[in-house]
Structure 1
């Protein structure tokens, strides 16, 4: 009876202590482990109380600032995996890698995106190409648990390619699939590796009109051996071997003269496409061109006047080191971060080629491509 009373007292003590710790302990603004900003305490207002959004936001705040939050997440993942779960928070936990589930598409969204790309291709005087990159869930499909839900990305990509009219299509699937036994995608991140990006660069060469440099002629620097990426961040599962981050260079070093970066408000300048300071941080993939920005323009020492405009997601960041060897200027536009026409800052007539380059999951769900024809 005595021990029962102690247990009850301890339970209520912890029940009272945890909320106090949540609100009294010093707060982090950014979680390095999860690579994201944590919720701020919501603003109290009559409207927020009436529509119940205040308490919803308080719940999010409390969850984000729960004491030892990441340790609890990691412990929860381990226990769930030990219990037999193979999918946790949308991530398949396999013996030697994590794979993000792709089991949904938005057919209407895809239709609208394809329509806008076709419209763009009609008004652009140069050539327009599209490369949809299958994710690891497609390339490593045979590794997934039996009966695991998932979209057959190859079929969907072929269907999308069949709807393009004046747009040349690039087959990234075949190259990635034929090298599936190699590390074409990171073990704990949703991006393709530098080698995977090299395969995409080679696949794009025929349509974009350059001769790819053989892989063995590049210098490969293993810049980090401790990369844990976006999939790790979601479930804090540390029993997967960390990834290496490889930087490819050709010849006597960088061929980049300067990099102009527009953050939506002002332009800044960098001297390289590799932002090595990120190798000392959690988000090591950002060594490729830094954080996502609305517009980035790369000027190279290529002895030609070829200029390429890329509408993209972050997969293109590790593709650019290869493409930069063949163009005097490459501009990357991330439509996710623009609310006005990109042509407010870019002269479309300055480019001979345009490439739409997206991973299949983002393209199938997001509607950012549909902003490509917003009037100036």
Structure 2
């Protein structure tokens, strides 16, 4: 009896000690989260982190404040990168192959889930594009929506993975835009080459090879005189790229892959360029920022990353001027277009706050291209503001 009582006391003591340790651990963890300063940018994930939202009655009433606060705490959680990696490993052991909206496919492929369209915002964007076309009805306009890897490479998704029907979404967008805006079928070009390296394994972007095949389709649709373009060759500028999907999901953190650029076989045939970053008031004579190869986001090699407005002037024998309204998918395709235009104006509505009517007039734009990947376009909240009011929301 005495031994039994001692064993019970021992178990009770152990439970109390464990409970006390757990409480101390929680208190220390809370203290660390309080003391650690909030970060604005995650270099590992290459994105801005959620900041502490302002408390307001309307925010509480609508539920927006709590959603923003939840995102804020998730982004600013102490040791977040470690815990993401730890959770990913536990999930893999349990047989789960999805983390933070990223599927772990075969052959080291990470595939971003297909985004569900924000129907109301997308409706506003499409309406703004149609009205923009009516205002400049004598200027040809083109729409290229690029399918995401989970669409084109769906056979690489893990078993039982369910995604949105992106092709149906694209069909609805094409129908809504009507025939006044010419549709460029990037999906057809990519499907024809799906067995090739047209998407990065660890990043949400397409590769330069994927962009090249889409450029060929674009050239046909826009009736560009490809005899003006020199023969190109591809070479790798790095073999150590590990993209944002790896950082976001915690998968394939040690996988490295190449980034290629395409240059003329004969250097003297290359169109010379002057690239002006308008708001930053800086100029360069190249479309590639090689300093980015030393950073985490090596894809920023193309055009140096995303800027509000870039003005590319070339020595091409033409007076044609192109306006590209885009997301980051356009960055590695734009170099293919330099032989065909005297000037290419590149606008990213996520960062642009100017007056697009002035751009159209002052730069004598002769063609407009909308170039987005599907996921960005269906969630975008900036296009309508730029096209209608000259401001983003």
Query: Which TM-score bucket, shorter chain as reference?
Result: 0.7 to 0.9
Shift of 1:236: 2.2
Partner of 2:7: none
Structure 2 unaligned spans of 5+: 1-9
Partner of 2:322: 308
Partner of 1:132: 145
Partner of 1:269: 283
Partner of 2:267: 252
- Tell me, yes or no, if the aligned pair for 2:352 and 2:386 is still in contact at 8 Å: no
Residue aligned with 2:350, SS: helix
Partner of 1:156: 169
Structure 1 residues 65, 112: CA separation in 2 closer, same or farther (over 3 Å shift)?
A: closer
Structure 1 residues 354, 348: CA separation in 2 closer, same or farther (over 3 Å shift)?
A: farther
TM-score when normalising by structure 1:
0.87
Shift of 1:239: 5.3
Residue aligned with 2:255, SS: coil
Distance 1:53 1:158 in 2: 32
Structure 1 residues 91, 54: CA separation in 2 closer, same or farther (over 3 Å shift)?
A: closer
Structure 1 residues 138, 213: CA separation in 2 closer, same or farther (over 3 Å shift)?
A: farther
Structure 1 residues 214, 101: CA separation in 2 closer, same or farther (over 3 Å shift)?
A: farther
Structure 1 unaligned spans of 5+: none
Match of 2:195 among 160, 181, 186: 181
Partner of 2:135: 123
Deviations 1:273-325 (A, max 9, x none): 10111111111111111232111111112122121111111111011111112
Distance 1:230 1:181 in 2: 22
| 1:112 partnered with 2:121 | no
If you compute each CA radius of gyration, which structure gives the higher value, 1 or 2? Answer: 2
Match of 1:327 among 331, 337, 341: 341
Distance 1:53 1:111 in 2: 22
- Tell me, yes or no, if the aligned pair for 1:92 and 1:101 is still in contact at 8 Å: yes
Residue aligned with 1:155, SS: helix
Shift of 1:140: 0.7
Structure 1 residues 315, 53: CA separation in 2 closer, same or farther (over 3 Å shift)?
A: closer
Residue aligned with 2:388, SS: coil
| 1:354 partnered with 2:376 | no
| 1:11 partnered with 2:27 | no
Partner of 2:83: 72
Partner of 1:97: 109
TM-score when normalising by structure 2:
0.84
Distance 1:337 1:132 in 2: 20
Partner of 1:225: 239
Distance 1:151 1:189 in 2: 19
- Tell me, yes or no, if the aligned pair for 2:229 and 2:339 is still in contact at 8 Å: no
Deviations 1:117-165 (A, max 9, x none): 2222222222111111111111011222344322332333233323323
Partner of 2:3: none
RMSD over aligned Cα atoms:
3.1
Structure 1 residues 302, 116: CA separation in 2 closer, same or farther (over 3 Å shift)?
A: same
Count of aligned pairs between the two proteins: 373
Distance 1:24 1:90 in 2: 30
Q: Which moved more, 1:192-201 or 1:28-37?
A: 28-37
- Tell me, yes or no, if the aligned pair for 1:260 and 1:296 is still in contact at 8 Å: yes
